[in-house]
């Protein structure tokens, strides 16, 4: 399970993955300017209304967040692995507990958005 490295940002309306550009030594924090980050190639956003499931899961002992969402052609799935530390140090995988909390928060925000 490998893929692009970036920043996952949850707002009250969307879940966004900001892919870090391959150039530059220090990744930028895009939480203050989400639209700028979404212009990075490989970045994506998923409106909360399109998310059908957010769940903590694991493969081979590595916890990750699985997000199922609806698109015009059917359904897609994204998986996000969380690491702490720096890329150079190899990082440390986050325990499953915080990922479960994030999944619950997404489900809660999704519910609030649909009733609000």
CA distance 103 to 9: 13
In a domain, residue 1? The reply is no
In a domain, 11, yes or no: yes
CA distances from 31 to 16, 25, 34, 77, 96 (A): 10, 18, 6, 23, 23
Domain encompassing residue 52: 6-115
Number of domains, the chain: 1
Q: Is residue 66 part of a domain?
A: yes
CATH of the domain at 94: 2.30.29.30
Using alpha carbons, select from 1, 93, 9, 87 the residue that is nearest to residue 43: 9
**Across all residues in the chain, what is the average pLDDT?**
82
Q: What is the pTM of this model?
A: 0.79
Residue 2: how many other CB atoms lie within 10 Å: 5
pLDDT band at 25 (very low <50, low <70, confident <90, very high): low
- pLDDT score at 71: 94
């Amino acid at each position: 399970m490998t893929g692009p490295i970036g920043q996952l940002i949850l707002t009250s309306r969307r879940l966004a993955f900001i892919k870090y550009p391959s150039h530059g030594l220090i990744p930028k924090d895009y939480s203050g300017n989400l639209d700028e980050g979404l212009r990075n190639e490989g970045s994506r956003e998923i409106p909360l209304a399109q998310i059908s499931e957010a769940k903590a899961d694991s493969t081979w002992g590595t916890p990750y967040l699985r997000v199922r969402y609806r698109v015009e052609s059917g359904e897609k799935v994204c998986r996000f692995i969380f690491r702490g530390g720096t890329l150079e140090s190899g990082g440390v995988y986050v325990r499953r507990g915080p990922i479960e909390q994030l999944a619950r928060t997404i489900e809660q925000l999704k519910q609030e958005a649909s009733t609000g």
